[in-house]
Each structure stands twice: as C-alpha cells, then as structure tokens.
Structure 1
Amino acid sequence: MEIKIINENKKQFIDLLLLADEQESMIDRYLERGELFALYDNDLKSICVVTEESPDTCELKSIATYEKWQNMGYAGRLIQYISSYYKDKYRTMLVGTGDVPSTLRFYENNGFTLSHRIPDFFTDNYDHLIFEEGVQLVDMVYLKKEL
C-alpha cells in the first residue's frame, strides 16, 4: 500500500471526489488550495483532500473510496496517515458531513468527536437536494479530532 500527495492535475480524480461531494462547483472551492492524498493498493482505492483553515486547524474536505473497495479499511488508513502527517503542523482537524448515522459513526470510530453544526448548509449551498442513505441532508455536522 502506498499513499501519494498529488500536487498537479487534481481534477483527474473528479470521479472519486464526486462520491464525497456530489457538486463539482463545491469541489472547485477547495481542491486547488488543498492537499490531495491518493491511496494505492495495486491500483487507486481512496482519496482525500485536506485544507488549512487557520494556523492551527486543518479540514478534511473530502474522503472517498471506490464503491467496490468500501468497508475494507482504506478510508480509515487515509485518516490515520493524514492525522500523523499533520500532527506537527496543526492542533485540530475538522471534518464536515451530513447528519447520517453511519457516516458519523465512521468518523467517531476514527477519533473524531462532535463539534458543531451549520444549519441549512446543504439546502443553502447546493443547487439540488442531496440524499444519503435515504436521508435528505440539510445541516452540515462538524466533527473534530485533536492531533
């Protein structure tokens, strides 16, 4: 297994990025200012993007694994890697997500705790309704992890 930082041609990963954030214009807001990490296990399995939000805080903006490789630990390994990678640079890592129990559980299992929420984030910022596991996403739920 190998994790690479991708500095150029980040849009080549748009298929995976759209699994994590289904509106390309929203991805465009952070992709170029963020660092993109790609996890390979023979071939590409998972990616994530991390941005600096303040001198002591970074944010995991997107994390996605190809569907056939989900639930095999790849996303968790990426979180472990980026947590270690950034521990000497930032104190806190944030992640924002929809209010979906399985997603919240995934982040909690990877060391995140509930932080705050932004009401109506998905309905105010996306040009269409977003559903995950049959639940309409409305509020953005933020979790944090001390590095």
Structure 2
Amino acid sequence: MEIRKVAGDRRRYLSLLLLADEQADMVERYLDRGDMWVLVETAGADNADEVLAECLVTDGGAGVLEIKNLAVVPEHQGRGLGRELIEHVAHTYAGRYHALLVGTGDSPLTVPFYERCGFTRSHVVSDFFTRHYDHPIFEGGVQLRDMVYLKRPLA
C-alpha cells in the first residue's frame, strides 16, 4: 500500500468522498481547495490500483490544518487505514502547521475514532447539520445535529 497526493480531477473520487459527507453540494464547497491524499493498494493481478481511503485537508488559517473529508471504503474499514492517513497528514504538515482540526457529527462512532487518533474536543457548532443539510443525517443510530470540532497538536 502507498499514499499518494491527488493531482487532477478530484471528482473521480466523489463516491468515496460521499461516504464521509453524504450531500454532494457540501462536498463541492471544499473539493477543489487544499490537498487530497489517497491510500492505494498497488496493482494486483488485474494490473489496476485500488483506492481504499482518502483524506482531503485545507488550510484553516492561523497555522491550523483542517481535515474536511476522511473516508475508507466500507469493506476495508477497521483495518487502521483512516488512522494511517491521519498520521501521514500529521507527519507531512508538521512544522508548517501547529494543529490539525477536524469537524464531525456528534456520533458515537466517529468522535471516539478521532479521540483514539490523539484528538481532543475543541468546540461545537450547534445545529450545523440541521441548518446546512437538506435531509436528516443519521450515524450509529443517532441523528446528527451539532458539528463537533476536535483538535490535535502537530509537533
């Protein structure tokens, strides 16, 4: 496996991006900003590389790098691929940024994942999902309402 920076059309990864942010017009708001990384399983028997995960990061200002989208193909979840991308991003941008920020729904699945990756709660934007999405979003049996921001220092 290897991690590659995406050059060219990012829309070819839209189905993967929509796993983490299920409303296309919300993805369009940040799709062409920042850097996008993909974790790829290199050419198998059919000579085709398979993208297993992606991470899109943007400059949040004031020395903060923000993860806007992180997704792993469902059949490859739970193998540490999301964590591997986070560690790659943290290592790549350390020195240029002092912190890594991520906003996510207040979900019993997602928040603990980021906490296990070294993030701590920073702040909350109340009713983000009910104000900005055209339909209710559920994760882990919970309707997402608030955007929870978590932060991790970069050394």
* TM-score, normalised with respect to structure 1: 0.97
What does residue 47 of structure 1 align with?
Answer: 54
What does residue 12 of structure 1 align with?
Answer: 12
What does residue 80 of structure 2 align with?
Answer: 73
Counterpart amino acid of residue 48 in structure 1: C
2:66 pairs with one of 46, 59, 66: 59
**What is the CA RMSD across the aligned residues, in angstroms?**
0.8
Distance 1:143 1:101 in 2: 14
What does residue 28 of structure 2 align with?
Answer: 28
Gaps of 5+ in 1: none
What does residue 140 of structure 1 align with?
Answer: 147
Distance 1:7 1:25 in 2: 21
% same residue: 46
Using the TM superposition, give the Cα deviation of residue 88 of structure 1 relative to its aligned residue in structure 2, in angstroms. Answer: 1.4
Mapped pair 1:100 → 2:107: yes
Indicate the structure (1 or 2) with the bigger Cα radius of gyration: 2
Structure 1 segments (4+ residues) deviating >2 Å: none
Contact 2:108 2:140 in 1 (8 A): no
Superposed CA offset, 1:53-101 (max 9, x none) = 1040110011000000000011010000000011011001100001112
Say how many residue pairs are matched: 147
SS at 1:101 equivalent:
coil
What does residue 128 of structure 2 align with?
Answer: 121
Contact 2:109 2:139 in 1 (8 A): no
Gaps of 5+ in 2: 43-49
Distance 2:109 2:62 in 1: 31
Counterpart amino acid of residue 120 in structure 1: D
Superposed CA offset, 1:36-57 (max 9, x none) = 1000123211001000010401
Distance 1:127 1:105 in 2: 26
* TM-score, normalised with respect to structure 2: 0.92
Counterpart amino acid of residue 122 in structure 1: F
Deviates more, 1:45-54 or 1:98-107: 98-107
Counterpart amino acid of residue 97 in structure 1: T
Counterpart amino acid of residue 135 in structure 1: V
Using the TM superposition, give the Cα deviation of residue 140 of structure 1 relative to its aligned residue in structure 2, in angstroms. Answer: 0.1
Distance 2:141 2:77 in 1: 19
Using the TM superposition, give the Cα deviation of residue 33 of structure 1 relative to its aligned residue in structure 2, in angstroms. Answer: 0.9
